Structure 1
Amino acid sequence: MSIVTFIAGLMALVAGAEALVRGASRLSLSWGISPLVVGLTVVAFGTSAPEMAVSVGAAAQGATEVAVGNVVGSNVFNVLFILGLSALIAPLVVHVQVIRQEVPLMLAAGLVLVAMALDGVISRPEAALLLALMLGYTIFLIVQARRAPAQEQSEFAADAPASQWDRHWSVQILLVLVGLAALVLGSRWLVQAATAFASALGVSDVVIGLTIVAAGTSLPEVAASVTASLRGQRDIAVGNVVGSNLFNILGCLGLAGVVADGGLPIPEAVRNFDLWVMMATLLACLPIFMTDRQIARWEGGVLLAYYGAYTAYLVLAAQHHEALAAYSTVMMSFVIPLTIVTLAVMVIRRPSSSRSH
């Protein structure tokens, strides 16, 4: 049954992603809204539905550590795994709006979360503030998109697919809704199957929670971004990740904190390690995106390698493995400094590269 559930979940994800990306991209053309904004809103919010369901449900049941860990782990997964995989499929061109507006907002949201978490809890008033910021950001994006120049909107219309069966806005909305439903259902089936596989292999519940649950609830983002990359809708692929991270911090944690009795306690391990890993991945987006405004294939490979390294650390730490100390020393002494130097060189080289073009 676990194998059947896994296959069914995978099929639902693929079909759901195809329907969501097609419906969202056509809807953006019908309403004169750029695919980037649709990726930042409709696609990003929709594919974050599993994170919302898991975090709010866990908070309501008192399992607040699951709610917090799911959001932080999903944000790390979104940047390192999803952007990495999407860039390996096809180099991702990053819209200038993402660099100038969305990435700074994502970093600001991360800093707000860190500031709220320093005292060990996100109170209900703080959670309500996160929700208010999410609402304000969404309204701002929609208003901004509607004010786009007519010439810019006509450029989006030129990218319309040749087929006309989904020309009417009602069919496009139906595609989005069907796609979202399939993504949520497929994600749930895949998490259930993966958890059963892990249990059968004797992997601890801690490792399952740190890896499979966080990655499993991000599977809709994987499917949507990869499908968008394959279809050439690269604004949606990048916007989906950035928008999902914003939604996870402001929307998921905001609603979970309002629902939770007494707010959301932040575990000490998350405050001391995972939150800072999340901030490091968010900060890394800026120099990577700024370099020729694209994510090259080799950069995608580096992001994937870092997700593998992060996952290996979580597994070793959860099992208190004897190799943990040596692994941590290698990461802190060699890998992380080398990455910082590489990012610095990328930023320094960018102005000369821009002048050469």
Structure 2
Amino acid sequence: MNAMVIVLLIAGLVLLVVGAEILVRGASRLASLLGMSPLIIGLTIVAYGTSAPEMAVSTLSSLSGQADIAVGNVIGSNIFNVLCILGLSALFTPLVVAQQLIRLDVPIMIGVSGLMLLFGADGVIGRSDGVILFLGAIAYTLFLIFQSRREKNAEVEAEYAEAYPQAGNGSPAVWLINLAYIGIGLALLVLGSRWLVDGAVTIARAIGVSEIVIGLTIVAAGTSLPELATSVVASMKGERDIAVGNVVGSNIFNILAVLGLAGVVAPAGVNVADSVLRFDGWVMLAVAVACLPIFFTGNLITRWEGLVFLGYYVAYTVYLILDSTQHTSLPIFNTAMFAFVVPITVLTLAIITLRELKTARDRNR
């Protein structure tokens, strides 16, 4: 492995981030010119646009026969989105969580995470599975548009209007410029994903780490950079729904649309590694389930909860490295995590949840 491989990997990541930004900018302005409300633009085009790197990488990986990178990218991105992005965002400022996320979107995220494990139980996400998932993405998008048209919260509407202002009527030159943005963004995404996948595969083979681990870590973190930038900046600006909703929406989109499309285009489906079915897929599901008690305890993600999220992401990454290298300290690490850290966390969450439920019940009396 030479320095050019590292350069290729970094250049691929840069092109993915820049391409996603350009694509979102052009698509958002065109949507605004077509009269779409800022809220719909934020919930659909921007949320999906930040997941464009995952779609580009997973689709290309599936077509190239690197299914481990495709699946690892989706699962790793979903874990990274919740543990790292929400954790880091909450450290800047506690995040207020909208009721719709708690009552609807997070349960949907949990449901599609379980559905992905169910479809992959036979070791492959086949074409029929991919079609079902992708149709689910279309249905979810239509539902978001329907819900956004019923939005009555003036604060939420103002927040999105500030982030994605209406462009008004544009001249033909404005239309052409924004169409060019979309075209350039798509081209950069395709080129960046190719460079990233090639670099990741080369590195995995050179250091003896499996492609699934590379997909779960380097590729997943790299393709999640748009979500990271969006949520952290939104949290610093106090834009609560954009910061949290971007993560939850992207996770749902990753499974339904990204993995669904990968399953549709792959000639023999997308193979799901045994390690995903034994461990990583369940971590993704557990992370999704963990959002419920944390989200509805005071409708707030506090700084200490953000720190817990970050700590778990570090622990998960350490486990992947120790497991892939079969390090001698792996048994000690597993014992510490599963005998002490995880049970203490679950117990703490249970106590906080019960206390919150009791408080809510007392208020309603």
Fold conserved between structures, TM > 0.5: yes
Instruction: Name which of 79, 82, 86 aligns with 2:85.
Output: 82
Instruction: Name which of 85, 90, 95 aligns with 1:92.
Output: 95
Q: Does 1:45 align with 2:48?
A: yes
2:68–2:215 CA contact under 8 A, matched in 1: no
Letter in 2 for 1:97: Q
Instruction: Name which of 310, 330, 333 aligns with 1:324.
Output: 330
For residues 162 and 260 of structure 1, the distance between their equivalents in structure 2, rounded to whole angstroms, comes to: 37
Letter in 2 for 1:297: R
User: In the alignment, what sits opposite 2:221?
Assistant: 215
User: In the alignment, what sits opposite 1:282?
Assistant: 288
Deviations 1:18-39 (A, max 9, x none): 99599969978x74453xx544
Deviations 1:145-182 (A, max 9, x none): 12334xx3586248855998x74375799499599669
Give matches, 1:293-308, under 5 Å.
293-308=299-314
Instruction: Name which of 51, 57, 67 aligns with 1:64.
Output: 67
1:9–1:186 CA contact under 8 A, matched in 2: no
For residues 63 and 182 of structure 2, the distance between their equivalents in structure 1, rounded to whole angstroms, comes to: 26
Deviations 1:70-101 (A, max 9, x none): 11111111110000011111111111110011
For residues 274 and 94 of structure 1, the distance between their equivalents in structure 2, rounded to whole angstroms, comes to: 26
User: In the alignment, what sits opposite 2:145?
Assistant: 142
User: In the alignment, what sits opposite 1:156?
Assistant: 157
2:75–2:216 CA contact under 8 A, matched in 1: no
Q: Does 1:105 align with 2:94?
A: no
**Percent of pairs with identical residues:** 45
For residues 251 and 312 of structure 1, the distance between their equivalents in structure 2, rounded to whole angstroms, comes to: 29
1:127–1:255 CA contact under 8 A, matched in 2: yes
For residues 178 and 73 of structure 2, the distance between their equivalents in structure 1, rounded to whole angstroms, comes to: 29
Number of equivalences: 351
Call closer, same or farther: CA 1:7–1:59 in 2, change over 3 Å: closer
Normalising by structure 2, we get a TM-score of 0.81
Letter in 1 for 2:149: R
For residues 283 and 164 of structure 2, the distance between their equivalents in structure 1, rounded to whole angstroms, comes to: 44
Instruction: Name which of 76, 81, 84 aligns with 1:73.
Output: 76
Give matches, 1:113-192, under 5 Å.
113-149=116-152, 152=153, 156-157=157-158, 161=162, 167-168=167-168, 174=178, 184=189
1:47–1:180 CA contact under 8 A, matched in 2: no
For residues 162 and 217 of structure 1, the distance between their equivalents in structure 2, rounded to whole angstroms, comes to: 22
Compute the RMSD of aligned alpha carbons: 3.9
Call closer, same or farther: CA 1:155–1:281 in 2, change over 3 Å: closer
2:13–2:222 CA contact under 8 A, matched in 1: no
Q: Does 1:312 align with 2:312?
A: no
SS for the counterpart of 1:278 is helix
1:292–1:353 CA contact under 8 A, matched in 2: no
Call closer, same or farther: CA 1:265–1:4 in 2, change over 3 Å: closer
Task: Point out the more displaced range, 245-254 or 262-271.
Answer: 262-271
Note the C-alpha offset of 1:205: 6.1
Letter in 1 for 2:46: V
Q: Which runs of no fewer than 5 residues in structure 1 stay unpaired?
A: none
Q: Which runs of no fewer than 5 residues in structure 2 stay unpaired?
A: none
Give matches, 1:13-32, under 5 Å.
13=17, 31-32=36-37
Give matches, 1:205-284, under 5 Å.
206=211, 207-284=213-290
Letter in 2 for 1:61: S
Call closer, same or farther: CA 1:236–1:119 in 2, change over 3 Å: same
For residues 333 and 160 of structure 2, the distance between their equivalents in structure 1, rounded to whole angstroms, comes to: 48
For residues 260 and 130 of structure 2, the distance between their equivalents in structure 1, rounded to whole angstroms, comes to: 4
Call closer, same or farther: CA 1:235–1:223 in 2, change over 3 Å: same
